[in-house]
Amino acid sequence: MSSIDYRAELARAGANVEGRWSAIRFFARRYPLGAVGAMIMAVFLFAAFFAPLITVYDPLTTNSALSLARPSAAHWLGCDFMGRDVYSRIVYGARISLAVGCGSMSLGVSIGVLIGLLSGYLGGWIDLAAQRLIDILQSLPLLVMALLMAASLGPSLHNTIIAISIPLIPYSARVVRATTLSLREQPFVESAKAIGMSELRIALRHILPNTLAPLIVLATAQFGSTILTEATLSFLGLGIPEPHPSWGRMLSESAAEYVRTAPWLVIFPGLAISFVVFGTNLLGDALRDILDPRQRS
């Protein structure tokens, strides 16, 4: 590569970096609450990925001498009734919450997209059968359905992901079906049929990509609900079992017995749940305004 080409490559790379920073600055100015939500989620993602680097104590190691130790320089958020460091458990608990949120959202949305795409594009008896299935799944609220599924499957990480993903299927299926119904009548679909393109390729190549914008908004908005549902299941003893650190399990162990004598056992896990749900809601609202033309001023 000549020196001229090398300088051109550097100039293009610098322009790309500057363009990204300009987009970030515009997003922060135009959607300040969305930027706050993105920062909150970035903090929790950083904590989840780099938990071993930002903690000192093992979240599973017990020490009876430190039982109910107050927050101090050695233990920033105190210790629980078994002498386990609360800060370490909250940081490692971010891994559990984000894993459940991402896993259940990915599984539920994937199945919902498949059902909604087939239902909206093929129509007929397939649409009728799929919609009756969606009606059955949507007859109960998300939390109630998740409780029923978790109680039948048993407490474990994989079962919790499955239990939360199933109630999410109707929401994504409805969104994809509604978008598909409007897209299949568009001229570009008729043109694809006229040149002999197969139905499967039309659905996957032309219709599915155009359903992603509302789907991203829905997934971001529902992400906070999945984390809150996981905390609720763990609080009730139907979610993540011991000894894995879970924010809901931490509240369940401490809320009734230690809320007066050791309030930090309730305050800090509760704040973690509140902040991550708050952040996802703010980010979801901003993405809705960006991706939905009807929301733009």
Indicate the pLDDT class of residue 85, thresholds 50, 70 and 90. Answer: very high
User: What is the per-residue pLDDT for 133?
Assistant: 86
CATH architecture of 31-295: Orthogonal Bundle (1.10)
Indicate whether 88 pLDDT > 90: yes
| pLDDT score for 54 | 92
Cis peptide before 293 (omega within 30 of 0): no
- Size (the chain), residues: 297
Q: For all residues of the chain together, what is the average pLDDT?
A: 83
DSSP-derived secondary structure for 74-120 = SSTT-B-TT--BHHHHHHHHHHHHHHHHHHHHHHHHHHHHHHHHHHH
> 228-237: per-residue pLDDT in tens?
888 888 888 8
In whole angstroms, what is the distance from residue 202 CA to residue 204 CA?
6
Report the distance separating Cα 258 and Cα 186, nearest Å: 61
DSSP assignment letter at 211: G
Q: Please state which of the ranges 31-35, 54-58, 195-199, 280-284 shows the lowest mean pLDDT.
A: 195-199
Per-residue pLDDT band for 5 (boundaries 50, 70, 90) equals low
Which whole number is the average pLDDT over 19-29?
Answer: 76
On the question of pLDDT at 17 being above 80, the answer is no
Lowest mean pLDDT among 92-101, 169-178, 216-225: 216-225
In the predicted structure, residue 266 carries a pLDDT above the cut 50: yes
Percent with pLDDT over 70 in the chain: 91
Cα gap 118→131, rounded to integer Å:
11
pLDDT tens track for 92-147:
999 888 888 889 988 998 999 999 888 888 878 888 888 888 888 888 787 888 88
What confidence category does residue 10 fall into, taking pLDDT thresholds of 50, 70 and 90?
A: very low
